[in-house]
Amino acid sequence: MNKKSYDERTTRQRAFWRANVALLVKLLLVWFLVSFGAGIVFAEPLNAYNFLGFPLGFWFAQQGSIYVFVILIFVYARKVSQLEDIYRQGSKRDTTDDGEPS
Amino acid sequence: MSTAMLTYIFVGLTFSLYIGIAIWSRARTTSEFYVAGKHVHPVLNGMATAADWMSAASFISMAGIIAFMGYDGSVYLMGWTGGYVLLALLLAPYLRKFGQFTVPDFVGDRYYSRLARLVAVLCLLIVSFTYVAGQMRGVGIVFSRFLEVDIELGVFIGMAVVFFYAVLGGMKGITYTQVAQYCVLIFAYMVPAIFIGLLLTGNPIPQLGLGAPLLDDGGLTVLQKLDTILVDLGFGAYTDGSKSTIDVFAITAALMIGTAGLPHVIVRFFTVPNVADARRSAGYALVFIAILYTTAPAVAAFARLNFVDTVHQTSYAETPDWFRNWEDTGLIAWQDKNGDGVIQYGAGDAVVGGTPVYDGDARGTHGERLLHNAPTASANEVYVDRDIMVLANPEIAQLPGWVIALVAAGGLAAALSTAAGLLLVISTSISHDLMKKTLFGQLSEKQELLSARVAAAVAIVIAGFFGIYPPAFVAQVVAFAFGLAAASLFPVLFMGIFVRRMNREGAIAGMLAGMGFTWLYIAYFKFWEPAANIPANWWLGISPEGIGFIGMFVNFAAAFIVMRFTAPPPEEVCQLVDNIRTPS
């Protein structure tokens, strides 16, 4: 491998990683807000509102946060696959399933 | 047909199914034994993960704990599901990409050190044994109540079954058995929940029934009614917590982070064909888990409502059979403090010392079992063990015998599937990480497979011992496993992926500091000075259950400080990190 293509690979890999971390930060912020935010820290004021017969804070703590968790994982799986398509080195067949270069 | 007969049939059928699957899918290579040959479909792996994950604590104890804790029980609901977000986003895909067999494999290679691998094995063993102890006790409870055999015999039967499919089938056998066990346990959990929801609210979906108005109570919803009657009896309102916000925060965080760091869960994601499958599989796993976890709070509220309704102000002579059945097993007790023959239920400990000590088989004037405990000043006359709420729920709601039998089979499925998963990581880490990678080095495939099987067998015996001599009650014991995992394994894995500069010295210092701190804090309040275990004495107001969250920061702090003063990792290791960060 010549120097230039090595540098390009590294740059691409770094760019992918930055994009991935930015995505992670966004999703984990949502994760934090629904559980620790709505379900715990702000549960009491939210309990003043009624949702589906539940006090809202209580609903987030025992129901809502769990639904959001499921959605977050699938959103991540989708988005990161798109990122991988953008930043993947060369063709799709470049690596084996275990990630070792073929 | 009698309920006992039906229970024998259900349990017998499900056990034969598990054993049949084990024979069909037995492992022939170490790769099959450790990671099921890495070709499990992501949806099936999701189901297996869910069964692996949902233990006796989830199935038997959790709804009972929520029933008695109300809002505070949310820590378990959010904690044991939110961790999957961390796992799916921060760990599982990268560890799968790394592509080895075990969690210590990653630690050993990433931190280029046998010592780091050994410390990881140590953390893994402590966490897994703490956790497996709770499972065997769950097996014992189910057997003793539903099949009317001794707890000891129940544990032996459970050990024999797990022995059969874990030792024979390895990860491959366990995976397919767990898929079957998931189906059994979720069916067993949902059927009574749906029935009871229908009876109380007319709504067949328990998740909605929890917020729905009661059929026979002038428009009050389940939660409103619960709040009202509990406050009348001197308890706090169901939808308000009694724990401090910071403690709820810390416990939830410790459970979440611990979940993401549990080796028997992480290793499940090594069994799928590729990285994208590992990510999706975590999503499926959480879907399957969420079905039970969003039903549990409904089961909890329904159970508490029905329990108060049936028991409070009922004369002992008129109590339904289940009350006396559970009294016979020692999980319910009644002390007629005012001598009126009628059961009064309310806030406060019913008996001095918290748990009843029976006077042999001696019976009082009304036929109740007599206690040695001195009565407390509180008006509450009923002791009830929280673990029985799910198991007794169908009986309390007067559901037919086959539903009760189903619940017994489901409870066993939950306990056995988790026990098997834990025993597998224990045996894997002993044969692969300890024997092969650390002690002997030159093990043939055959020898390694044999040592894995022997290690699994020994681990089962130790787990059985814990089942017969159980330490405290199921969910509590399990909660500590999470604190320890949060403080030791999660940070070291996270830094291995996200902190390129993290080195051997930092990782080892972090694991030891996090584990040591957490263990000491828990041991101090639980074993050395149990009397001091009150909120006023807790550091920052954080209970032993939540201290793993602080332990994680201790781990990070120790790791970063040591890293600054020691040599950076070698070039190959930086390349390894770059490689797992590259799109596959």
Flag whether A2 is in a domain.
no
ipTM: 0.88
C-alpha B471/C-alpha B465 separation (Å) is: 11
| DSSP one-letter code for A37 | I
Whether A98 and B99 lie within 8 Å, measured CB to CB? yes
Token digits of residue B265? 């869960």
Flag whether A56 is in a domain.
yes
Residues of B in contact with A80 (CB under 8 A): 93, 279
Flag whether A34 is in a domain.
yes
Token digits of residue B13? 């059928």
C-alpha B192/C-alpha B499 separation (Å) is: 48
Partner A contacted by B442 (CB < 8 A): no
Q: Strand, coil or helix: what is A93?
A: helix
B77 closest CA partner among A18, A57, A39, A96: A39
C-alpha B538/C-alpha B307 separation (Å) is: 33
Q: Strand, coil or helix: what is B550?
A: helix
Partner A contacted by B290 (CB < 8 A): yes
Chain B residue with minimal CA distance to A25?
B89
pLDDT recorded at residue A73: 93
Token digits of residue B67? 């029933």
Token digits of residue B498? 């996200």
Chain A: closest CA distance from residue B340 (Å) = 38
Can you point out the beta strands (E) in B298-365?
314-315, 332-334, 342-343, 358-363
Residues of B in contact with A70 (CB under 8 A): 283, 286-287, 290
pLDDT recorded at residue A100: 41
Give the pLDDT band (50/70/90) at residue A102. very low
Partner A contacted by B516 (CB < 8 A): no
For residue B490, count other CB atoms closer than 10 A to its CB. Answer: 29
Whether A58 and B275 lie within 8 Å, measured CB to CB? no
For residue B460, count other CB atoms closer than 10 A to its CB. Answer: 25
pLDDT recorded at residue A96: 43
Token digits of residue B517? 């701190």
Domain encompassing residue A26: 16-89
Whether A99 and B99 lie within 8 Å, measured CB to CB? yes
Contact status, residue B170 vs residue B27, Cβ threshold 8 Å: yes
Q: Which helix (H) or strand (E) holds B123?
A: helix B114-146
Whole-number CA gyration radius for chain B: 24
C-alpha B396/C-alpha B388 separation (Å) is: 11
Token digits of residue B64? 């009972």
With 0-12 CB in 10 A as exposed, 13-18 as middle and 19+ as buried, what is B63? buried
Whether B78 and A65 lie within 8 Å, measured CB to CB? yes
Partner A contacted by B71 (CB < 8 A): yes
B146: Cβ–Cβ under 8 A, 6 or more apart, which residues?
B4, B7, B11, B391, B404, B405, B408
Strand partners, B369: B363
B363 closest CA partner among B320, B328, B321, B339: B328
Q: How many domains does chain A have?
A: 1
Cα atoms in the Cβ-side hemisphere of radius 13 Å centred on B507 = 35
Whether A66 and B89 lie within 8 Å, measured CB to CB? no
Given its phi and psi angles, is residue B240 left (phi above 0), alpha (psi -120 to 50 degrees) or beta? Answer: beta
Contact status, residue B502 vs residue B559, Cβ threshold 8 Å: yes
Whether A73 and B85 lie within 8 Å, measured CB to CB? yes
Chain A residue with minimal CA distance to B96?
A98
Partner A contacted by B401 (CB < 8 A): no
Whether B583 and A66 lie within 8 Å, measured CB to CB? no
pLDDT of A97 above 50: no
B141 closest CA partner among B35, B55, B45, B254: B55
Flag whether A33 is in a domain.
yes
| DSSP one-letter code for B213 | B
pLDDT recorded at residue B126: 80
Place of tokens 């029933």: B67
B565: Cβ–Cβ under 8 A, 6 or more apart, which residues?
none
Whole-number CA gyration radius for chain A: 20
Chain A: closest CA distance from residue B274 (Å) = 5
pLDDT recorded at residue B492: 93
Domain ranges in chain B? 3-88+102-291+399-475, 307-395
Q: What is the pLDDT along chain B (584 residues), one digit of tens a residue?
A: 788 888 888 888 988 888 888 888 777 777 777 766 677 788 888 898 899 888 877 888 888 888 888 898 889 999 999 999 999 999 988 988 887 778 888 888 899 988 888 888 888 888 888 778 777 777 777 777 677 777 778 888 888 888 877 777 777 888 888 898 899 999 989 998 998 888 888 888 988 888 888 887 677 888 888 888 888 887 888 888 778 888 889 999 999 999 898 888 888 888 888 888 888 888 999 999 999 999 999 998 888 888 888 888 888 888 888 888 888 877 788 888 887 888 888 887 777 766 777 777 777 777 788 887 777 777 788 888 877 787 788 887 788 888 888 888 888 888 888 888 888 888 888 877 777 767 776 767 777 778 878 888 888 888 888 777 766 554 556 667 788 889 988 999 999 999 989 999 999 999 999 989 998 888 787 777 777 777 777 778 788 888 999 999 999 999 999 999 999 999 888 888 888 888 87
Choose the mutation target among A16, A40, A74, A96 for the interface with B, i.e. most B CBs under 10 Å: A40
Token digits of residue B524? 């101090």
pLDDT recorded at residue B487: 92
Flag whether A60 is in a domain.
yes
Chain A: closest CA distance from residue B2 (Å) = 36
With 0-12 CB in 10 A as exposed, 13-18 as middle and 19+ as buried, what is B513? buried
Contact status, residue B345 vs residue B383, Cβ threshold 8 Å: no
DSSP letters spanning B357-421: -EEEEEE-TTSPEEESSPBPSSS--EEE-TTHHHHHHHHHTT--HHHHHHHHHHHHHHHHHHHHH
Partner A contacted by B228 (CB < 8 A): no
Chain A residue with minimal CA distance to B83?
A69
Flag whether A10 is in a domain.
no
CATH fold label, B3-88+102-291+399-475: Amino acid/polyamine transporter I (1.20.1740)
pTM comes to 0.88
- In three-state form (DSSP H/G/I as H, E/B as E, the rest C), the secondary structure along B48-65 is HHHHHHCCHHHHHHHHHH
Place of tokens 């007319």: B202
Cα atoms in the Cβ-side hemisphere of radius 13 Å centred on B298 = 32
Chain A residue with minimal CA distance to B211?
A53
B181 closest CA partner among B411, B439, B432, B378: B411
B180 closest CA partner among B19, B59, B419: B19
A68: Cβ–Cβ under 8 A, 6 or more apart, which residues?
A30, A31, A34
Q: What b/e readout covers B359-389, taking b as 16+ CB neighbours within 10 angstroms? A: eeeeeeebebbbbebeebeeebbbbbbbbbb
Token digits of residue B551? 């332990």
Q: Which helix (H) or strand (E) holds A55?
A: strand A54-55
Whether B85 and A72 lie within 8 Å, measured CB to CB? yes
Q: Strand, coil or helix: what is B380?
A: coil
Flag whether A100 is in a domain.
no
At A21-50, the pLDDT tens digits run: 999 999 999 999 999 998 888 888 888 888
For residue B281, count other CB atoms closer than 10 A to its CB. Answer: 31
Token digits of residue B342? 């009628």
- Positive or negative: CA dihedral B521, B523, B525, B528: negative
Q: Kindly tell me the number of DSSP H helices and DSSP E strands found in chain A.
A: 4, 2
